[in-house]
Every structure is written in C-alpha cells, then in structure tokens.
C-alpha cells in the first residue's frame, strides 16, 4: 500500500518561531538503508527539481525555504562512498545543479526509540518497507507523529500490508493470497529481518493520526499487488 497523510492542528497558539524568516524544508526518511536505495534509483529527483525550481514549499508553509535538508535514519549506516554518491545525486539534476541546495545526512537510529530531534521538526517524513519489520508499529508510528510538523506536515509510505477480503469478489480472487501471507508470515519474519506479511499497517497509520489533537487528511491512497513476489 502507498499513501500520503497531511496533519494539521485543531488549534495552534504560537507559530512565531516558524513564521520568523526563512528556513530549510526538512525531510526525514525512516529506514533509508545502507544502500540509500530511494536516492540511488532517483525517487527524490522529480520532487526536488520542482521544489528547487519554484523555491516555494510544496507543503504551503507560511515562509520561503532556503534549502532542503534530508536526514536518513537507520540501524545500518551506509559506507562513506555510498553516502557521497547519494549526496552528489541529490544535489544535481539533468542539465546541472539544482537551484536550491540539498543536503543529506544519515544518522544511526531506530524509529522505535526516540530520535534526537524536537517535536514537529520535520515537514515531511517517508518510509518504505519499514513498518512491516519494526518491533512495535504503535511505538514507531507515535514517534513519527511526534516528529512530524503538525502544521500541514506530510507522511508518505510504501509498505507490505495484509490483503483485504471485504467482499465476495475479493474473497474469490485473493483468499489464497491471504492464506499464503498467514502461513508464510513466521518464516518471513525469521529470514527477512522481522518482516511481516500480514500486518494491517494502513489501518494502524490512520488510527495513529486520527486523534483529538490533530486533524489529518488522507491525500492519496493506493493498494496494489506485486505478482512477481508470489
């Protein structure tokens, strides 16, 4: 499943620190990996080019941005040459350098622990195939929520999720897939770093971001099957 969520406060008394002047657009990638794969395959390229060209925040923040700071967090750090290549890729585009500086830093950290950043520090948080493997989804999602800017911050993810069998058509088409997920789940956890095949991750995310403190909006959602995996 892939999705993006936007969080806004029901009431925010003091935005003076955010409104005072210009600052970077801050992005956190949870579980960036030792290969910095999302950077290496170019998944940031289009978005960075658009933001850099306009020099305006895509999140409609009430101030101009000076640069883009991307921080990756993972329990496995990339080697220096991998990190350098990723940094070089982020700072250039076809035809030359980006109009806005882009930096990449990778820190050692587990999203089920408290990362060393203040509440609401990041304007955007992403993760890919991370929440299927964490020891506690609830703890991880609460930490993501803590770190996300409550003033229209965006959380995006691509994750393994449990197959849904909500109607007869889905049960006819996907019941064997659900059986595979449930049957192979213990083996998958043992051989694939605790990866779960049958977690209701999308529901857990919506539950975490649906509270009296924040009013979250689902911007985009898609469920899809990767047939080659089966």
Return d(Cα 25, Cα 124) in angstroms, integer: 8
Strand order through the sheet with 153-158: 102-108, 65-74, 23-30, 124-128, 153-158, 2-9, 214-222
pTM attached to this predicted model: 0.79
List the pLDDT tens digit at each of the 230 positions of the chain: 544 454 444 333 344 444 455 788 999 999 999 999 999 999 988 888 878 776 555 556 566 788 899 999 999 999 999 999 999 998 876 656 667 889 999 999 999 999 999 999 999 999 988 988 889 999 999 999 999 998 878 999 888 777 776 666 666 767 877 777 888 878 887 877 878 777 888 888 888 888 656 667 777 777 666 665 54
Q: Which two tokens stand for residue 226?
A: 């990767």
Q: Which two tokens stand for residue 131?
A: 């929440």
Alpha-helical segments (H) within the chain = 16-19, 37-40, 45-54, 80-91, 137-147, 168-191, 201-209
Whole-angstrom CA distances from 144 to 11, 111, 121, 180, 209 are: 20, 8, 10, 30, 10
Transcribe 155-170 into DSSP letters: EEEE---PPP--SHHH
Return d(Cα 108, Cα 28) in angstroms, integer: 13
Sign for the CA dihedral angle at 172, 173, 176, 179 comes to negative
Whole-angstrom CA distances from 125 to 6, 120, 129, 173 are: 11, 11, 14, 34
DSSP 198: S
């Amino acid at each position: 499943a892939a999705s993006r969520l936007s969080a806004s406060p029901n009431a925010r008394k003091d935005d003076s620190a955010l409104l005072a002047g210009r600052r970077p657009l801050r992005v956190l990638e949870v579980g960036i990996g030792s290969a910095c794969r999302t950077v290496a395959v170019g998944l940031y390229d289009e978005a960075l080019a658009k933001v850099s060209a306009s020099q305006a925040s895509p999140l409609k923040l009430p101030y101009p941005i000076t640069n883009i700071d991307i921080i990756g967090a993972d329990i496995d750090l990339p080697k220096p040459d991998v990190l350098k290549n990723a940094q070089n890729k982020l700072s250039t585009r076809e035809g030359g350098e980006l109009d806005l500086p882009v930096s990449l830093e990778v820190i050692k950290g587990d999203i089920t622990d408290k990362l060393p950043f203040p509440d609401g520090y990041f304007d955007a948080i992403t993760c890919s195939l991370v929440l299927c493997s964490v020891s506690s989804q609830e703890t991880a999602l609460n930490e993501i929520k803590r770190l996300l800017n409550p003033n229209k911050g965006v959380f995006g993810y691509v994750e393994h999720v449990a197959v849904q069998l909500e109607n007869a058509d889905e049960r006819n088409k996907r019941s064997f897939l659900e059986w595979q997920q449930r049957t192979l789940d213990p083996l998958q956890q043992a051989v694939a770093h605790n990866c779960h095949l049958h977690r209701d991750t999308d529901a857990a995310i919506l539950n975490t971001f649906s509270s009296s403190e924040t009013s979250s909006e689902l911007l985009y959602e898609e469920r899809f099957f990767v047939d080659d995996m089966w």
